Amino acid sequence: MTHSALNHLAETVQYNCNVSDARHGADDSLCIYLMKMREYFRWERRLPFGAPLERQQVGEWLQAREELWEQLEHADLLPIEIDEQCYDPFDADAINRALAPQGLVYSGGLGTHGKPHFVLGDLEQHRRHGDRSVFIVADEYARDLSAPPAMTLGQSIFVRRESLRRMLWEKLESWRWSRPDNALGRAFACYDFDNALDASLDAMADREAHTLLLHEQGETLAGEQLGDAWGRLILDLAGTPAEIMARAVRDHLADCLVTIPHLAAKAQAASIHFFVGQLTNMRKEIFPGLQDAYASWRHDGGLEGFDEVAARGRAHWLSLAQAMLEIHREQGAALDQAIRDLVQTRPL
């Protein structure tokens, strides 16, 4: 692919990213939104982590970006054109078949609140894991405001190394404000971030890319157990508090199926701290048993608690997810409150 063709492709993907952001930019709280925009500015300007950002430049860029989003709020997504053939922007399989000879990789799917996520980047590695394709994305040419470091789309798993490094940097920077004694801080303490920022980010990203892959492998198993009906449930819950709960339940099922047993078997302290430290508040609230297992491990070094809670979790979260699907079958789209009540009464 010529440099001109790559630029055109990246511009098209970035346009679709901008359309997605225009539709969903207000999904986050103001604090999270501003933090994301700050780091989005850093990515777009290709500034190194740790480089000071000039407030005026960020402010002017932010204003211009919000004006652009106002223009694109009702715009349609563009097809992806490669070698004079057009593809639907969500047909990642076909697009990747066309991009494979060029050493590029593309992903396009829906995330929380039904927000489309797109990325175009260099293909670092493509391998098979059972009947799944695993794509490791290196440097990214186009992305949207929210850049999930891993995502499963159909039979493909995407792990975005650059986005993972950026996520780790953002979490590190947030943690440094008050340096609380928590799981995430203990994960950071396993590296020399104060004296070797880039090397530590690389080392942590290399290690935790495997943790993300474990979760996505669990997602595929959870998907097989829950079937296509789960996707329809999530779409009907999009933008509601119950969507966050439903996603947390499936995430716990995925981790009890794969992530937690593997982390316990490997017994790598840094990854265990990171796994627990990056859990959302919702996931912590509905799974206090996992926090108990973590506290027990910190106290006596025993990993049995993780195996036990994972075994109980596999049955519990599958049962809870199936109960959600039953409510969906009975009530259709009007199920937000019923799902919330169900999850709140069945923590583990």
Higher pLDDT, 301 or 249: 249
Residue 288: predicted pLDDT: 96
Question: Quick check: 10 pLDDT over 80?
Answer: yes
Give the tens place of pLDDT for each residue, 43-62. 999 999 888 899 999 999 99
Q: Average pLDDT, stretch 185-192?
A: 96
Q: What percent of the chain has a predicted confidence (pLDDT) above 90?
A: 79
Type of residue at 325: L
Dihedral over Cα of 142, 146, 147, 150: its sign: negative
Q: Which of 197, 206, 202, 208 is nearest to 274 (CA)?
A: 208
Q: Which of 160, 134, 162, 135 is nearest to 149 (CA)?
A: 160
Average pLDDT over the chain reads 93
Assessment of whether the complete model's pTM goes beyond 0.85: yes
What are the angstrom distances between the C-alpha of 142 and each of 6, 169, 194, 234?
11, 19, 30, 26
Residue 335: predicted pLDDT: 84
Return the beta strands (E) in 19-144 as ranges. Answer: 80-82, 85-87, 104-110, 116-129, 132-143
Question: Quick check: 203 pLDDT over 90?
Answer: yes
Strands 132-143 and 85-87: unpaired
Q: Average pLDDT, stretch 242-255?
A: 95
Question: Quick check: 132 pLDDT over 90?
Answer: no
Domain boundaries, the chain: 3-160, 197-344
**Tokens found for residue 48:** 């190194």
Q: What are the residues whose beta carbons fall under 8 Å from the beta carbon of 54, sequence distance 6 or more?
A: none
Give the tens place of pLDDT for each residue, 304-314. 999 999 999 99
Give the tens place of pLDDT for each residue, 14-45. 999 999 999 987 767 788 888 889 999 999 99
Task: Centre a 10 Å sphere on the Cβ of residue 194 and count the other Cβ atoms it contains.
Answer: 9
The string of DSSP codes covering 158-178 is EEEHHHHHHHHHHHHHHHTTT
Contact 103, 134 (CB under 8 A): no
**Tokens found for residue 25:** 């930019």
